Amino acid sequence: MTTETDILIVGTGFAGLGMAIQLKRAGRENFIAIERAGDVGGTWRDNHYPGIACDVPSHLYSYSYLPNPDWSRVFSPGGEIQAYIRKCAEDEGILPHIHFHTDMLKSTWDEASKRWVVETSKGTYVAKILITGTGHLADGHMPRIEGLDSFVGDVFHSANWDHSVSLEGKRIGVVGSGASAIQIVPEMQKVASEMVVFQRSAPYMIPRWDREFTEGERRMCRRDPSVVEDLRSEIFWSGEFNFAQRRNIPRFLNEAKALAVGHREAHIKDPDLLAKLTPDYEIGCKRLLISNTYYPAIAAENATLEASALKRVEGNMAYGASGTGYELDVLVFATGFEAVRPPFAARIFGSEGISLDAHWDRGMQAYDSIAVNGYPNLFIINGPNTGLGHNSVVYIIEAQVDYIMGALQQIEEQSIEVIEVKRTAEDAYMEKLDTMAQGTVWLAGGCKSWYVDDRSGRLTLVWPDFAHSFRDENGTFHPEGYDMQPAPVAAE
């Protein structure tokens, strides 16, 4: 069965859904969104581990055009974010446009028909425009661990939590000490008889200014929407301020460091543990974490910090690279995602028949962080150089959706059949980004992070500037960067 549509969106997280909502609001009905899972939400559907919450305040971490007065906390739990995304999809009438359980397997640009041919687990789609919103933290990364198959207990990844496994009184190993791990660890410490955390490198952590909103505050937000607008502005610009740390300016970096050091020393009294929890790279080089509960949990009686990576497993023993072994019942992998080489790229083949993944053999890149030469009529949301170390990803997504709306308008007005970014424009854009990235904490901070592509040493995931400048630079369509071919006029 072949389904034809003007516009095909892949994925229904904040990105794909945000795109769908704007299309719908603009009166464009001829679009379909395919989603490999059975619900919208992406990240927030898949991550339901104990303790999950956002780390950008909820009033900002949501669509600007669909404010929610009812967030329960400053940093709302994941379930609430998922319910919010679901409600947005329902209220905006998007659900009928979504084909669930439809996995994009292979998309090929067909030069003859000037269409994308998209093979999925539910048949073939043919679309004039292909828009990916497949996320950059969507596919869990499992490190290859020697002997893991022999583990006699339960094993799962943080983004695929097995709630059927009872954890009460168990000996639990948590692998990793990144953003997910620091939310999981305090919850595990509460229920485990013993808990071991395998830490490859110590993260920087600062306090989390979290609290519950009162019913009165929520009513205030419902009664006066300008309160939410003011809050968004306040949260956004105070987040923007922190870009100066990522920019690696001594004064601001040192302020952040002092906050992190003070936080660590206030909670950790044991000098050995303090040494293990002290990072050996510059603050902000890896994701700066926020938590009030991680340090107390790691300092608890039933917790052990193994300051080395999990190396091998044998039966019910798990060994760190240091050689120390621990007897465990459960192993939780909070080891992050396939971000540097996103799996969707291996499934998209352009005009020369090469996959985007192969094309990106020196790392991801795209003009205006959205379009790739050789891949006509394709727009990528939340792809190369869109990540932020300091502010809300939804803000970036909205800017990219605006850009695509501008492009679609031009395509329609001028009856464009093929739109392809110029190679020279793409290269010039990347050169500009490379220059901007020099000296930033991601490149100069002395750490190995998923923001940088090993193969080229280039910063391929992060937008190396303020979030607001992403919108200034990439929030409107730039026709000058593209070759555009009008459709031939049909003979009467």
Report if residue 47 touches ligand FAD, rule: CB under 6 A.
yes
- State yes or no: residue 261 binds another protein (CB under 8 A): no
Of 321 and 436, which CB lies nearer to another protein in the complex structure?
436
Instruction: Considering the complex, state which of residue 171 and residue 391 has its C-beta at the smaller distance from ligand FAD.
Output: 391
Alpha-carbon distance of 458 to 444, in angstroms, equals 12
Q: Is 282 in the site for another protein (CB under 8 A)?
A: yes
236 binds another protein (CB under 8 A): yes
Q: Does the footprint of another protein cover residue 248 (CB under 8 A)?
A: yes
Sole window of 141-149, 297-305, 324-332, 432-440 interacting with another protein (rule: CB under 8 A): 432-440
SS3 459: strand
One of 45, 170, 171, 247 touching another protein (CB under 8 A)? 247
Q: Give the tokens for residue 28.
A: 């464009």
- What is the smallest separation between the CB atom of 351 and ligand FAD, expressed in angstroms? 21
Q: In terms of Cα–Cα distance, which of 81, 137, 135, 148 is closest to 332?
A: 148
Task: Report the alpha-carbon distance of residue 417 to residue 318 in Å, rounded.
Answer: 57
What is the spatial distance between Cα 26 and Cα 385, in angstroms, rounded to a whole number? 28
Rg (CA), the chain: 23
H or E stretch at 16: helix 14-25
369 binds ligand FAD (CB under 6 A): no
Distance of alpha carbon 19 from alpha carbon 461, whole angstroms: 21
Confirm or reject binding of residue 34 to ligand FAD (CB under 6 A).
Answer: yes
Q: Please tell me whether residue 134 binds ligand FAD under the rule CB under 6 A.
A: yes
Question: Site size for another protein, by CB under 8 A?
Answer: 37
Applying the rule CB under 8 A, the residues between 187 and 216 that interact with another protein are 209
Task: Output 159 or 318, the one with its CB closest to ligand FAD.
Answer: 159
Chain centre distance of CA 477: 23
Rounded CA-CA distance 182/296 in Å is 11
Asked whether position 326 contacts ligand FAD by CB under 6 A, the answer is no
For 243, phi then psi, to 5°, come to: -60, -25
Tell me: does residue 350 bind ligand FAD (CB under 6 A): no
> Within 224-374, where are the H helices?
225-241, 243-246, 250-267, 271-276, 294-298, 356-359
Least separation in angstroms between CB 393 and ligand FAD? 3
Helices (DSSP H) in 373-459: which residue ranges? Answer: 393-413, 423-437, 441-444
Question: Rounded distance, CA 34 to CA 357, Å?
Answer: 21
446 scored as a contact of another protein (CB under 8 A): yes
Residue choice 48, 471, 483, 484 for contact with another protein (CB under 8 A) = 471
Q: Shortest gap between Cβ of 447 and another protein (angstroms)?
A: 11
How far from 218 is each of 27, 221, 225, 233, CA to CA, in Å?
32, 5, 10, 18
Q: Does 11 bind ligand FAD (CB under 6 A)?
A: yes
Stretch of 150-158, 176-184, 185-193, 225-233 contacting another protein, by CB under 8 A: 225-233
Select 268 or 339, whichever has its Cβ closest to ligand FAD. 339
Report whether 328 contacts 335 (CB < 8 A): no
Question: Residue 64, interface with another protein (CB under 8 A)?
Answer: yes
CA dist., res. 187 & res. 222, Å (int): 32
Rounded to whole angstroms, the Cα distance separating 155 from 340 reads: 24
**97 and 24 in contact (C-beta within 8 Å)?**
yes
Question: Using the rule CB under 8 A, which residue among 6, 103, 240, 434 binds another protein?
Answer: 240
Alpha-helical regions (H) of 242-392: 243-246, 250-267, 271-276, 294-298, 356-359
230 interface partner picked from ligand FAD, another protein, none, CB below 5 to 8 A per type: another protein
Query: From the list 124, 201, 469, 476, which residue makes contact with another protein (rule: CB under 8 A)?
Result: 469
Host H or E run for residue 90: helix 78-91
Structure-token match 């306090």, residue found = 207
Report the partner that residue 386 touches, choosing among another protein, ligand FAD, none (CB closer than 5 to 8 A by kind).
none
Per-residue contact string for residues 69-108; x = within reach of ligand FAD by CB under 6 A: ----------------------------------xx----
By a kind-dependent CB cut-off of 5 to 8 A, residue 241 interacts, out of ligand FAD, another protein, none, with another protein
251 binds, options another protein, ligand FAD, none, Cβ within 5 to 8 A by partner type: another protein
Q: Which of 75, 47, 82 is nearest to 59 (CA)?
A: 75
Residues belonging to the chain: 492
* 35 lies in the binding site for ligand FAD (CB under 6 A): yes
Contact residues for another protein, defined by CB under 8 A: 60, 64, 209, 229-230, 232-234, 236-238, 240-241, 243-244, 247-253, 282, 392, 395, 436, 439-440, 444-446, 466-469, 471-472
Contact residues for ligand FAD, defined by CB under 6 A: 10-16, 34-37, 42-43, 47, 52, 54-56, 61, 103-104, 133-135, 137-138, 180, 344, 382, 392-393
